[in-house]
Structure 1
Amino acid sequence: MAGHAVSAVRAATAADVPAAARVLADAFTGYAWTDWVLPADDHAARLAEVQGLYLAHAVEHGVVLVDDDVRGVVAFVPVDVPPPADEVWHRVAELHGDRIERLGAAPSPEPPAGAWTLATLGVLPAARGAGLGSRLVSEGLDRVGDVPVVLDTSDPRNVTLYRRHGFEVVAQVDVPDGPSVWSMLRRAA
């Protein structure tokens, strides 16, 4: 499907969250960070649910984009986004189980004032290679405007993708007994 045309990109709504969370769960299957922070038992269901919780919060407080066919999704949130409700954090903690403390294992550098976070990007494996991920990132960057944008990734291939969009590596942490994490920044013009 690498030749499949990229459909239009639009703002996601709350109604898109379940499908977009499934996209992220499929995209993050085998991803070093999520494999490390979520228990192996019922991993796929945990991953889909936690992605749905985070996406619902991002739809409410940030910029979440999907393509018309919901084969890809990107989410941006301001770094000062309000925290999710207590019941959401409680469920996130349950999903992470005894691995919850791992979430803070790779501290990111302090973001610049007014920064946004590219919180997640995922494209269904069958839809990769047609430029959908790049299109989502570009559209998202356009929508958040001329502000600094930060992100973390645990896949060196993602570093290459994000560099094409003006991001630079500002830190790398090799988590003991865990994955490497690259912190990246796209500066405001």
Structure 2
Amino acid sequence: MTRTTLTQVTPVTRGEIDAAAELLTLAFADDAPTRALLQERGDDVRARHRLFRAVLLGGPLQNGTVDGVRDLDTGRLLGVAVWSRPGETGMRTAALPEYVRAIGIGGLSRALRVSDAIDAHRPAVPHWYLKAVGVAPDAVGGGIGGTLLSSRLELIDATGSPAYLESSNDRTTALYRRHGFVPLTRLPWPDGAGPTAMWRTGGTPSRGARHAAE
């Protein structure tokens, strides 16, 4: 990563939906669960972009729970984290048109099954849910992912709330462990590319808050 000056973590706005979706599209280009969900459209950049637009429209943007780190000089987004507040589950109706554009009518039932499987494995107690976190490819290694996590987890810890996420590879699992998450189980997924469910109890100390790294 080239040297950049970063701002503090700030909310991503509705007007930045395409920029945020584009960043996540690039960050998740080789993500096995995402490709399995898209199946025959796994290599379709437009389909992946629409999928992340749907994720953003499913509540987080409206609720102000999409966090971004930007280059101070250019304003470009370098990292995005998409969270859902406690009590939010399932696929929002407002996001369905974008899901259909991403995966087609035939793929919608598959996506709904995956959404139901995720909800079925989420602990019943109210918790924050990290839907997605991504870093621009040219910014990987600069601590942006850790900075995003530390910022939101500090706010979550102030309320004593637990948090939940799914990790799709060993690298991100190690990052989440540093922030106090522990593995629960591997989720069922199309083509067997299931991510690992991880849980963080309320107020868990986070080594990542002191040593954020991506």
TM-score with structure 2 setting the length: 0.78
Residue identity matched to 2:22: R
Alpha-carbon shift at residue 153 of structure 1 (Å) = 2.1
Please give the secondary structure, in 2, of the residue aligned with 1:180.
Answer: coil
- In the other structure, the counterpart of 1:129 is 141
Deviation larger for 77-86 or 56-65: 77-86
Q: 1:129 to 1:154 in 2, by over 3 A?
A: same
The one of 148, 160, 166 equivalent to 2:180 is 166
- Report the alpha carbon displacement of residue 82 of structure 1 after superposing the two structures with TM: 6.6
Distance in structure 1 (CA, Å) of the matches to 2:37 and 2:161:
30
The one-letter code of the counterpart of 1:134 is G
Q: Superposition pairs for residues 1-189 of structure 1, below 5 Å?
A: 1=1, 3-41=3-41, 43-56=44-57, 57-68=59-70, 69-81=76-88, 86=93, 88-97=95-104, 98-103=106-111, 104-105=113-114, 107=118, 109-145=121-157, 146-173=160-187, 175=189, 177-189=191-203
Aligned partners of 2:191 and 2:126: how far apart in 1?
Answer: 33
Please list the CA deviations of residues 154-173 of structure 1 after superposition, one character each: whole Å capped at 9, or x if unmatched: 22211111001000001124
Residue segments in structure 1 that go unaligned for 5+ positions in a row: none
**What amino acid is the match of 2:63?**
H
Shift of 1:120: 0.7
Instruction: Confirm or deny: 8 A CA contact 1:37 1:100 kept in the other structure.
Output: no
Shift of 1:11: 1.1
Corresponding residue pairs, total: 189
Choose between structure 1 and 2 for higher RCO, CA contacts under 8 A separated by at least 6 residues: 1
- Cα distance in 1 for partners of 2:143, 2:8 equals 12
Between Structure 1 and Structure 2, the one with more strand by share is: 1
- State how far apart, in whole Å, the 1-side matches of 2:190 and 2:132 are: 23
Shift of 1:17: 1.4
Distance 1:85 1:180 in 2: 22
Conservation of the 8 A alpha-carbon contact between 1:149 and 1:186 = yes
Paired amino acid for 2:162: P
Structure 1 vs Structure 2 CA RMSD = 2.4
The Cα offsets for residues 59-116 of structure 1, whole Å up to 9 and x where unpaired, read as: 1135111112311100111242276653531431342233334433554523242201
Cα distance change of structure 1 residues 70 and 144 upon mapping to structure 2, 3 Å threshold:
same
Cα 1:99/1:172, change in 2 over 3 Å? same
More helix by share: 2
Comparing 113-122 and 34-43, the one that deviates more: 34-43
